[in-house]
Amino acid sequence: MKRHHWLVLALLACVGTAVAAAPKVDKKPEAGVEAFWKRVDEVAAGPQRSAENKARDPYRHPKETLAFFGLRPGLTVLEITPGAGWYTEILGPVMKDNGKLAVAVVDPSSSSKESTRDYYKANNQKYRDKLAADPASYDKVEVLEFNLNEPKFGPGGTYDLVMTFRNVHNWTGSKADAAMFKAFFAALKPGGVLGVEEHRARQGQSVEESFKSGYMPEDYVIKLATDAGFKLDAKSEVNANPKDTKDWPEGVWTLPPTYRLKEQDRDKYTAIGESDRMTLRFVRPK
């Protein structure tokens, strides 16, 4: 009996140690995250987004994509070359009171071609006008201009999350892709995340064959990131589209939403939907 009594006491001591060592459960962070994603839903359905942009949601899966990249309250976020602001329409209002959002656009003077300088200048102004027209949604968005030849996004180690959507082929065309990924690495804090969404080329297709049509080989994009120092953390097929055969007469721009062939075979391309896309998450090692 004495031995049995000793074993019982030992077991109770172990249980007591385990309970004492267990961390306290704080429900507030979970509640905050739940409220954050409810806010994402509200913003995605909000009036600051056009009906045309909302119609892209079934193809672009913004909530699922942002969740995969690790968006959450309290982060300092950088969106790279936001185009007309499709994702900014969601990120701007969501991050306004939940962290910080900066966006980076190309400095027009960094291009040697007058036509390209004019293109960047016009698009940058259109984007800034969009933000200025709706201060309730975008008054806290910081707009940065960067030199495409020597990209830099402010002081190093500034951001928790850097994201870019369907842009890598443009940087490859400008011979700036490797420099861009190195600049992302420098901009992120140790442990920070880089999220990349890009049109995905056919398996085995070379960069030289694919990028002019808007598609990029997935292994090439991964190599750009890992060569810059990133670690591939995860892949997602949330933006995959097996209907996209990637052999269109005007490349990816044949498909919606661009419809470069205008009314020619429009119903066919509408039925296919937007491009097949890789969605990749990288981490800057600590």
CATH number assigned to the domain comprising residue 223: 3.40.50.150
Judge whether 41 lies within some domain.
no
Judge whether 31 lies within some domain.
no
Closest CA to 49 of 143, 37, 40: 40
Which DSSP letter does residue 201 get?
P
For residue 104, the SS3 value is strand
Q: Is the dihedral of CA 72, 73, 79, 85 positive or negative?
A: positive
Q: Is the dihedral of CA 18, 23, 26, 31 positive or negative?
A: negative
Which residues constitute the domain of residue 162?
Answer: 61-283
Judge whether 244 lies within some domain.
yes
Structural domains of the chain, count: 1
Judge whether 55 lies within some domain.
no
At 202, list the tokens. 């056919």
Judge whether 248 lies within some domain.
yes
Judge whether 39 lies within some domain.
no
Judge whether 226 lies within some domain.
yes
Judge whether 200 lies within some domain.
yes
Closest CA to 104 of 124, 125, 118: 124
For residue 6, the SS3 value is helix
Per-residue pLDDT of the chain (286 residues; tens, 9 = 90+): 444 443 333 333 333 333 333 333 344 446 689 999 999 999 999 999 999 999 999 999 999 999 999 999 999 999 999 999 999 999 999 999 999 999 999 999 998 889 899 999 999 999 999 999 999 999 999 999 999 999 999 999 999 999 999 999 999 999 999 999 999 999 999 999 999 999 999 999 999 999 999 999 999 999 999 999 999 999 999 999 999 999 999 999 999 999 999 999 999 999 999 999 999 999 999 9
